Copies of this chain bind each other. A is one copy, B any other.
Amino acid sequence: MSIFDELTKQPNTSEELQPPFFGALLRIVWQDVRSRMYKAIHDAGFADFQDAHFAVFSYPLPDGIRPSELARQKKMSRQAINYLITQLEELGYVERRASEGSDRRLIYLSARGQEIAETIFTCLRRLHAEWAEEIGHERFDVFLDVLKQLSLKVQESTPEASP
């Protein structure tokens, strides 16, 4: 059975993927985490938070950053980030505020924005606990450790990339 046939086939419930296909695994798990965060946010009453807003509500969260710097960080155009910031500002989740000196206005989370952030953290903490229990703490720690190593490796090979 060729590698192509293996992947081409519809998934049998008990079918296992072969080594090279961790792409699909990563995607599936990542999508689940993301949709859980989204659901948690909505369940917490922030119904107007949209999926695209994750571009801003992702690590590292904005805390006194210049719009253009934020754009670079999230790998978007200044205009695209500006579009999202404007929207999030209207929803009351971020603020543009001049810091000390009559410097330019920087981007901060508002109080409500920080509530969203906390909601995300709580969701992730719960998921962490649940999965660590399910998988076994030792193995899950290895998993997280490898993930951390990979993300560091990846970030240094792709300079100026953090989102």
Contacts and interface: CB of A to CB of B under 8 A. Distances in A.
Interface in A130-163: 131, 134-135, 139-140, 142-151, 153-155, 158, 161-163
A4 B24 CA distance: 31
A10 B35 CA distance: 25
A30 interface: yes
Interface residues on A, range: 35 or more
B114 A135 contact: no
Contacts of A125: 19-20
Given A10-B63, A24-B58, A28-B151, 10 more contacts: A4-B118, A17-B59, A23-B37, A23-B124, A25-B148, A25-B150, A26-B147, A28-B154, A28-B155, A29-B150
Copies in the complex: 2
A158 B63 CA distance: 35
Interface of A: 3-4, 7-11, 16-17, 19-35, 37, 58-61, 63, 65, 109, 114, 117-118, 120-121, 124-125, 128, 131, 134-135, 139-140, 142-151, 153-155, 158, 161-163
Given A7-B117, A19-B128, A25 B60 contact: no
